[in-house]
Structure 1
Amino acid sequence: MRKSFILLVTSLLGLIQSYAQGYQITVELPNFKSGKCFLAHYMGKSTYLADSADVNSNGVAVLKKNEKLLPGIYLLVLPGKQHYIETLIDKQQTFSVSIDTTDLIKKTIYKNSPDNELFLSYNSFLGAQDALNRSIQEQMRNAKTAADSAKVFPLQQELGKKIQDFRNSFVTSHPGNILSTIFLAMKEPEVPKDHPTNDSLFAYHYFKGHYWEDVDLQTDRLVRTPILEGKLNKYFDQLVAPVPDSIIGECDALLAKTRKSKETFKFVLWWLTYHYETSPYMGMDAVFVHLVEKYYVAGDAFWLNEDQLSKIIDRAYALAPNLIGKQAAPLEFKDIISNPTSLYKIPGKYTVLVFWDPTCGHCKTEIPRLDSAYKASWKSKGVSMVGIKTEGTKEEWLKFIKDHDLKGWTHGYEPQAATNYRRLYDVYSTPMIYLLDEKKKIVAKKLGVEQLQEFINRSSVKNTGTKL
């Protein structure tokens, strides 16, 4: 896990908005005479401890602080951590609840908390659907043919409609309630059935265009629930084109909608930053760099201290020079016989630039595989191979080259590290592989042999063209 992510998480949880009044939740536990009761909250799909209190001999624990809790779905975790109930927190933060572990729904009673009385009625409704839900799940497990599965589908639709009808009725009857806000955010756009049949993308565009319509991004209510992170995951992983420019536009548009809520803005910016900094897909670091340059450098990450902010900005600046489409940084080095040379002096329709270490276990596997692909295919396509030693002694490096017959490569090392290649090419692990075009622009990076093979083959066909 990268340090910048750790900083983001720490700062995200560390800043709690203060109010003039605090909260007091009295928890009555007839099944306990000791132990500790915990209060936790969601932050996206994860949960974090907010408070705890000892259970006295009368089975009562009082959770109390002078700062109000941010709204959301909280968890009251009972002693032993074997049972918990979800509890809504919004404007009314002084209330009591009696929890009997023999029936966490029917025997839970709230006092002075209308929001949770309504939430309890919803959970009771869901509990009443358990028999049908269990029957559906059992039929799905026992389905052996497509026809068997088809029989279950109407039952699933019936259950889904019944639950959605309950939520819709609740929203109509209780506008402005925190549970209504949650239900609206959970609801997905319904594509009109009478849409144009000649437009194959109508359903996609309609669904995407109305995706955030019922999600209240201007209040803090959804941050401490699992709902917002789930919406973000689906939108950016399934609905947004996986192209940096498209993603950047969507990030900016969504963040603009959150500006009236500091907590929502903070969470969405954090989520996008982490999501694209750690993305396994090539080129997504451009989104991370954009977010840092536009929001963090501008001072919008108000929850970070100066040191935390500096480290995140430094990380973005380290990535910025080697984004896809950028001109590869000048690289001066010495070859095997210590003659000075340069990356830009090496001709090639494509250049595979590899930073590697003869003592690295992964390099010992990947470098021979790269060489095999080069000799079998890439060389005939005008590919040049450039390998730069990062660690290990010169003797170990030369022995590896000789033992594996790495002929045809331009091998180099930089004993003085004068070009600062580690920063310019973000060489934090090995092997670090770049694919450059004829003009030494970065067209791909961090690819394995198979991915490089596909990329070079596809690019070669594209550049060669076909005659009809």
Structure 2
Amino acid sequence: MLKYILPILFFITSVSFAQEHHIEVQINSAPNKKLSLAYYYLGNIYIKDTVDLDERGFGTFEGDTILPQGLYKMYLDEKNHFDFLLGADQTFSIKSDNFSGENININGAIESEEFAKYVEFLKNLQEKSAQLKQEFQQASGEEKEKIQQELNELTPQLHNYWKNIKKKYPNSFVSAFLIANLVPVLDISTLPENVQNNDSLLLAARFNYQKEHYWDNFDYTDERLLYTPLYKPKLENWFTKVLYQNYDSVKIPVIEFIEEIRPHKRIFQYVTSYFLNSSINSNIMGMDALFVDIARRYYLSGEAFWASDETIEKVKENVMFSEHNLIGMTAPDLTLESVDGDFYNLHGISAKYTVIIIFEPNCSHCKVFVPEFHKEVYLPFRDEGLEVYSIYSMDDKNEWTEFLTKHDLYDWINVWDEHNVSRFKVLYDARKTPGVYVLDRDKKIVAKKLSVEQLKKFMEDNL
């Protein structure tokens, strides 16, 4: 389904002088129809213009500015549309009998013509692959080996096609778009024999090679690639699969990436926004530190020119609730009052591991989590070096004591801050409960936001 862009401010205005686009279209199967010119932008497709075709199926898309180079679409409806590439030449004609994408005739734009030829080549290659696979199923012996060899030759043919276009049109968008699909693969024959014969070493070699060469054929500073379906999945795959998934491993390459694309404002906006949102929403423990880094460096510093005041305030709020409780930091000290009126200091606890739990009895998750944690984790490990600093987050003492009594939770440290003097809700981000932090002997935060099962496994491994 097509989506329309509403917030015009999302885009950066550019002015072109003495440049225009003039695209004549004739679709023989669509007389007197409304035809739309659509374009790809990251993960979506947007309408740029619409014309009424005449009784011959003829119409013209034109304007007094050039269009962004990218992958475009002639769109009639969900079942009738085809893609074409728009390069530097934007005065040309497109003719086709229908919307099958076959036998499209383009005149006046070399890059668009070459892309149409490529689509035809790719279609033939896919048909050849399907035919050989069918023959392979029915073949045997030497015939099967021959067919397999033919199949193995198809991918190099595709790669050679991309490379030849790059040689023929080295600075064109069509070459940048096609070669961007080529992902380098490690030739294991170049590795030492001991690495080739060791699965672990070979896996590590492939991982390192992919990380080092992932962007070899993809120019991530080329804004034209934003107008294709390629950029978004390429970036997401790099961040979530190519980079090793922990904060210390991703921080430097991510910041270096952002710095490299910073002069390219559209890409800077997309990439920085993507990393900010991905890091704060990540399920990887400790990745919120990357969010804080990006927020401070680009958003709170004023570099994120696209961010509204509302967005900046939201980012600022999330930084405030995250910056004091990152993995590896010394946990903020607290001295809170117990049920009996005594005060307990967090840093004064002498235990190999201290778990901070922040809960409220009416929280549906807390009702299950806290008693289960007590039974499955605290009781088995309290004599092995585990202590619990359990913080009731509300201000109803009767509610609190009823919950403690109901679940028999008086054997660990129970505290509260009736008047919110300590700011623990900010220091330990108590916006969602239950909150869970694991501190080592020196009160350094070593884990957080763990489930009961994960906490049990952590204690089994460390106590």
Which residue of 1 is the match for residue 198 of structure 2?
Answer: none
Change (3 A) 1:11 1:56: closer
Between the aligned partners of 1:137 and 1:381, the Cα distance in structure 2 is: 61
2:398 alignment partner, one of 395, 398, 411: 395
Residue 157 of structure 2 corresponds to residue 162 of structure 1: yes
AA partner of residue 163 (structure 2) = N
Contact 1:388 1:413 in 2 (8 A): yes
Which residue of 2 is the match for residue 181 of structure 1?
Answer: 176
* Structure 1 residues 112-131: aligned runs within 5 Å: 112-131=108-127
Change (3 A) 1:102 1:65: closer
2:106 alignment partner, one of 97, 103, 110: 110
Residue 424 of structure 2 corresponds to residue 421 of structure 1: yes
> Is 191-200 or 246-255 further displaced after alignment?
191-200
Residue 192 of structure 2 corresponds to residue 196 of structure 1: yes
Q: TM-score, normalised by structure 1?
A: 0.83
Which residue of 2 is the match for residue 363 of structure 1?
Answer: 366
Between the aligned partners of 2:47 and 2:424, the Cα distance in structure 1 is: 45
Residue 282 of structure 2 corresponds to residue 279 of structure 1: yes
CA RMSD, 1 decimal? 3.2
**Once the 2 structures are TM-superposed, how far is the Cα of residue 60 of structure 1 from its aligned partner?**
4.7
**Once the 2 structures are TM-superposed, how far is the Cα of residue 40 of structure 1 from its aligned partner?**
3.6
Change (3 A) 1:334 1:70: farther
**Once the 2 structures are TM-superposed, how far is the Cα of residue 202 of structure 1 from its aligned partner?**
4.3
> Is 159-168 or 207-216 further displaced after alignment?
207-216
Which residue of 2 is the match for residue 465 of structure 1?
Answer: none
* Structure 1 residues 222-301: aligned runs within 5 Å: 222-301=225-304
Contact 1:31 1:100 in 2 (8 A): yes
Give the paired residue count.
Answer: 443
Which residue of 1 is the match for residue 70 of structure 2?
Answer: 72
**Once the 2 structures are TM-superposed, how far is the Cα of residue 228 of structure 1 from its aligned partner?**
2.5
AA partner of residue 90 (structure 2) = Q
Change (3 A) 1:73 1:341: same
Between the aligned partners of 2:429 and 2:63, the Cα distance in structure 1 is: 46
Change (3 A) 1:304 1:264: same
> Is 177-186 or 50-59 further displaced after alignment?
50-59
Contact 1:282 1:445 in 2 (8 A): yes
Asked which structure has the greater RCO (Cα within 8 Å, sep 6+), the reply is 1
Change (3 A) 1:197 1:221: farther
Q: TM-score, normalised by structure 2?
A: 0.84
Which stretches in structure 2 are left out of the alignment for 5+ residues? Answer: 1-5, 139-143, 196-200
Between the aligned partners of 2:236 and 2:307, the Cα distance in structure 1 is: 24
Contact 1:435 1:443 in 2 (8 A): yes
Deviations 1:253-296 (A, max 9, x none): 32333244332333322222222221111011111211222233
Change (3 A) 1:23 1:288: farther
Contact 2:87 2:174 in 1 (8 A): no
Give the match's secondary structure for 1:53. strand
Give the match's secondary structure for 2:162. helix
Deviations 1:275-328 (A, max 9, x none): 222111101111121122223334332333444334324423431111101122
Contact 2:10 2:306 in 1 (8 A): no
Give the match's secondary structure for 1:126. helix
* Structure 1 residues 288-327: aligned runs within 5 Å: 288-327=291-330
> Is 280-289 or 348-357 further displaced after alignment?
348-357
Deviations 1:379-426 (A, max 9, x none): 122211222223584433322222222232222232222223232212
Residue 443 of structure 2 corresponds to residue 440 of structure 1: yes
**Once the 2 structures are TM-superposed, how far is the Cα of residue 119 of structure 1 from its aligned partner?**
0.8
Between the aligned partners of 2:145 and 2:405, the Cα distance in structure 1 is: 62
Change (3 A) 1:430 1:127: same
Between the aligned partners of 2:8 and 2:135, the Cα distance in structure 1 is: 46
Change (3 A) 1:134 1:17: farther
Give the match's secondary structure for 1:129. helix
Between the aligned partners of 1:217 and 1:85, the Cα distance in structure 2 is: 26
Residue 131 of structure 2 corresponds to residue 132 of structure 1: no
Change (3 A) 1:341 1:266: same
Deviations 1:323-345 (A, max 9, x none): 10112223343322344444334
Change (3 A) 1:113 1:451: same
Contact 2:392 2:400 in 1 (8 A): yes
Give the match's secondary structure for 2:354. strand
Between the aligned partners of 2:146 and 2:397, the Cα distance in structure 1 is: 69
Change (3 A) 1:162 1:359: same
Contact 2:376 2:452 in 1 (8 A): yes
**Once the 2 structures are TM-superposed, how far is the Cα of residue 429 of structure 1 from its aligned partner?**
1.7
Between the aligned partners of 1:254 and 1:322, the Cα distance in structure 2 is: 26
Change (3 A) 1:320 1:61: farther
* Structure 1 residues 444-455: aligned runs within 5 Å: 444-455=447-458
**Once the 2 structures are TM-superposed, how far is the Cα of residue 170 of structure 1 from its aligned partner?**
1.7
Which stretches in structure 1 are left out of the alignment for 5+ residues? Answer: 1-8, 144-148, 461-468
**Once the 2 structures are TM-superposed, how far is the Cα of residue 136 of structure 1 from its aligned partner?**
6.7
Which residue of 1 is the match for residue 331 of structure 2?
Answer: 328
Give the match's secondary structure for 2:227. coil
